Amino acid sequence: MWCPPGGVWCRTDRIALNPLNSPEAAPSPHSDEDLRLWPGHTADMNFQVTGLGLDKMKLDSPQSFLDQEEAEEAEDQQLLEPEAWRAYMERRTALREFLTSDLSPHLLKRHHARMELLKKCSYYIEILPKHLALGDQNPLVLPNTMFQLIDPWKFQRMKKVGTAQTKIQLLLLGDLLEQLDRGRAELDALLESPDPRPFLAGWGLVAQRLADLSAVMDSFLAMMVPGRLHLKHRLVSDIGTTKIPHIRLMLSTKMPVMFDRKGSVAHQDWASLRWFVTIQPAAPEQFELRFKLLDPRTQQECMQCGIIPVAACTFDVHNLLPNRSYRFTIKRAESYTLVYEPWWDSLTLQTRPGPPEGPTPSRLGKPGLPLTTLSVR
């Protein structure tokens, strides 16, 4: 603790001792280095103090922070032997590289975004036929033909198995992602620990933690892709033939259907709606558009709702009430192979007000001439 003449009391964060204990080894009192107190020597501060204002150009310079970090490392190095210090620096560097590459914040953010996308996807059972027995001259059985061979009751039971497997898989993915978040927080706190001795003493546990987190990351990446459904029973009943086709069932994923917020516009008594799929399917898809009037005021207004099948990615809904709010929902049409669809996209639009009631003011048009209403999209 010291005070410059005419200034305020200041306190240094670190005190570096002169190893030679001589004034000659001390730095010049007017050098640009950060303040150090040496035995037998009084150092002056290299910034001016005017009342309570300090020269922030010197305080906030990057060099001052670098000097502080070097001073901290020098103090930590005094706690360890040279060989132990080298081991500490090597392991600390390895841990830092793991946190900046294998478990970086950017990578975890991407995984969280992918996880949120998977929660909005649709999941289906995909039938993959195998080759028939060797020597059979019959062509491969196509999936459409296989549906005629599969027992309907057994297939419905497999759909329930697929639904349960999808839900469990999503829950496990969320749990694995939480483990990665917690692991990074723990290792980051250990990296910022000021004392190197506990870091070295517990390195065996740290190395095991790194291996565990790498295994968790591998499991997370492998589980991101839906897997095969495990069959406990044959889906194809005895059809009186000697050869029954082999069938594999897989879970497949389709990207969510989402409204185009900019392209969907509500007018006075109709709405133009557009939607899209992130990854366009190979074959055209069928969609189901739903609309509903919010806060109906009469029994007749309660009829302002409906379900519209659409075979495109755009549709215009007419006969809407002016100056009212409508909720629109879009989803894929029901499919025989659908097992899980937890999310539908919704959009709320308000139609424009209608023309004012009563006689039209003369300033809006000359008598005898029709009025033209323009709809600007």
CATH of the domain at 326: 2.60.40.10
Residue 364 belongs to a domain: no
Query: Is residue 337 assigned to a domain?
Result: yes
Residue 160 lies in a domain: yes
Q: Are residues 105 and 220 in the same domain?
A: yes
- Backbone torsions φ then ψ of 163, nearest 5 degrees: -65, -45
Q: Verify that 87 and 224 share a domain, yes or no.
A: yes
Residues 212 and 265 grouped into a single domain: no
In a domain, 101, yes or no: yes
**Same structural domain, 328 and 215:** no
Q: Name the domain count of the chain.
A: 2
Domain that holds residue 318: 257-351
Q: Tell me the two tokens of residue 269.
A: 């008594």
Judgement on whether residues 224 and 295 belong to the same structural domain of the protein: no
Same domain, 202 and 94: yes
| Global pTM exceeds 0.75 | no
Residue 207 sits in the same domain as residue 345: no
Bin 51: left if φ > 0, else alpha if -120 < ψ < 50, else beta.
left
What does each of the 377 residues of the chain score in pLDDT, given as a tens digit?
A: 444 444 444 444 433 333 334 444 444 444 444 433 333 333 443 333 333 333 433 334 445 544 555 555 555 555 567 888 888 889 999 999 999 999 999 999 999 999 999 999 999 988 776 644 433 444 444 556 667 778 888 889 889 999 999 999 999 999 999 999 999 999 999 888 878 888 888 899 999 999 999 999 999 999 988 777 766 556 766 655 556 666 778 888 999 999 999 999 999 999 999 999 988 777 889 999 999 999 999 999 999 999 999 999 999 999 999 999 999 999 999 998 999 999 999 999 999 998 876 555 444 343 433 333 333 33
Q: Tell me whether residue 323 is in a domain.
A: yes
